[in-house]
Amino acid sequence: MIYLDSAATSLYKPPAVANAVLHAMRTMASPGRGAHRPAMAAAELCYRCRERAARLFGVSEPDRVVLTFNATHGLNIAIRSLVPPGGRVLVSGWEHNAVTRPLYALGAELRIVKTPLFDRTAFLREAARLIEGVDAVICTQVSNVFGFILPIEELAALCRAREVPLVIDASQGAGVLPLNFDRLGAAFAAMPGHKGLMGPQGTGLLLCQNDARPLLYGGSGSESRNPDMPSFLPDRLEAGTPNVCGIAGLYAALGWLLDKGTERVRAGEWRLLRTLADALAATGRLQLFDSGDPEAQTGVLSVIPKGMSCDALAEALGTQGVAVRSGLHCAPLAHETAGTLDTGTLRFSVSPFLSGAQTERAAAICEKILKSA
């Protein structure tokens, strides 16, 4: 199997991740539910996980690292905290349904920054034009469809200057791009554990600047006689039993990332992407959405085959052991902005556990399929 769908889920992870999951399953109970050893071991693990995440993402207090079940969970908390029903929100034209659907559910008025793919300057210019009077700005760090790196630092500066809260969807950037949350001054940043962070599915992080409104209500293991959720973080946002086994895996994965460094991960992924993109371009049978610029694109490459549908090519690749994803990738807005809504795209996404030889092999298989179509 040549796995080229890491933008959806990292399949190959550091070996310590699975070991940590198994260890937690065998030895840990749930944090805040008792003071016996298995419960306290789980509590210690959760705290260590918050500490590691705080170090990786520049959060000064681990209390402001909330353990969620995925990025969607965190984004829903952030959106419900900042956007009133019918509120005005500025979003990029590259957002995932994890952002747009909660906003539609609130009846929010969306101001969408629709500018050309990979054009960071045009994006900032248009964002500055549209920002006046909005309740919040919500922006993805990286497009999950095209790997386009949005200018988050500059956008954060704009938000600070206009005193508009910023929510960062770091789903595709976390683990690959630097993110210093406190320095950016964003209100929230949400991310899943199972993509670039290399952790298990069912884990996520929500970085919080200040207070937030609970999305779920229930037991927190604290202030039990209070009919409301506790007033303090992280308990305020963590109702119900957490995914301790998943958090154990995430903790191990964060350790791996801190040791390796996101810069090295990014550089390696870019080398793989170049190998893949150059080989695919050489077939002459694909339209590539390739910036050629490591400052504008991560290890994600969308293509549209000529004379064949994306779905048919993805299926053919799958039968020959190459895992890719076709369709809209849960981001119809991004396709609308790029003009690919009718066709969708076929997406290749690399990871640190892929080799250059594997990407070359995947491109060769792709060429063979396209020639015989």
Partner 1 sequence: MTAAQRAAAALGQGGVFASVTKAPQSTNPGGCTYAVKLGERKLQTALTILRGAGIPWERAYRVDARGTLREVGT
In angstroms and rounded to an integer, the radius of gyration of the C-alpha atoms of the chain is 21
User: Which residue type sits at 150?
Assistant: L
Helices (H) then strands (E): counts for the chain: 12, 13
Q: How far is the CB of 213 from partner 1 (least distance, A)?
A: 19
Among 221, 294, 318, 327, binds partner 1 (CB under 8 A): 221
Which among 9-17, 231-239, 260-268, 325-333 is the span making contact with partner 1, rule CB under 8 A? Answer: 231-239
Tokens of residue 102, six digits: 């909660």
Out of 223, 336, 360, 367, point to the residue binding partner 1 (CB under 8 A).
223
* Stretch in the footprint of partner 1 (CB under 8 A) among 11-19, 209-217, 230-238, 314-322: 230-238
Nearest distance from C-beta of residue 228 to partner 1, angstroms: 11
Token pair for residue 115? 């500018």
Among 34, 38, 87, 178, binds partner 1 (CB under 8 A): 34
Distance (Å, whole) CA 262 – CA 336: 31
Whats the size of the chain, residue-wise? 373
Cα(36)–Cα(12) distance, integer angstroms:
34
When asked if residue 12 is in the footprint of partner 1 (CB under 8 A), the reply is no
- Of 19, 121, 210, 226, the one binding partner 1 by CB under 8 A: 226
Minimum CB separation of residue 219 from partner 1 in Å reads: 9
∠ Cα 82 88 89 (to 5°): 70
* Dist CA 233 CA 230 (whole Å): 8
Q: Please state, in angstroms and rounded to a whole number, the distance separating the CA atoms of residues 263 and 302.
A: 23
Where does the chain show beta strands of DSSP type E?
2-3, 65-68, 88-92, 109-113, 136-140, 166-169, 188-192, 204-208, 286-289, 300-305, 322-323, 325-327, 345-349
| Residue placing its CB nearer to partner 1 in the complex, 44 or 293 | 44
Footprint of partner 1 on 41-70 (CB under 8 A): 43-44, 46-47, 50-51, 61-63
User: Does 225 participate in binding partner 1 (rule CB under 8 A)?
Assistant: yes
Distances (CA, A) of 195 to 79, 306, 308: 22, 30, 29
Query: Does residue 231 touch partner 1 according to CB under 8 A?
Result: no
**Residue 7: which of 346, 336, 280, 316 has the closest Cα?**
346
Instruction: State which residue, 47 or 353, has the beta carbon closest to partner 1.
Output: 47
When the beta carbons of 43 and 333 are compared against partner 1, the nearer one is 43
Question: Which residue, 123 or 181, has its beta carbon nearer to partner 1?
Answer: 181
26/225 with CB nearer partner 1: 225
- Give the interface with partner 1 as residue ranges (CB under 8 A): 31-32, 34-35, 40, 43-44, 46-47, 50-51, 61-63, 221-226, 232-235
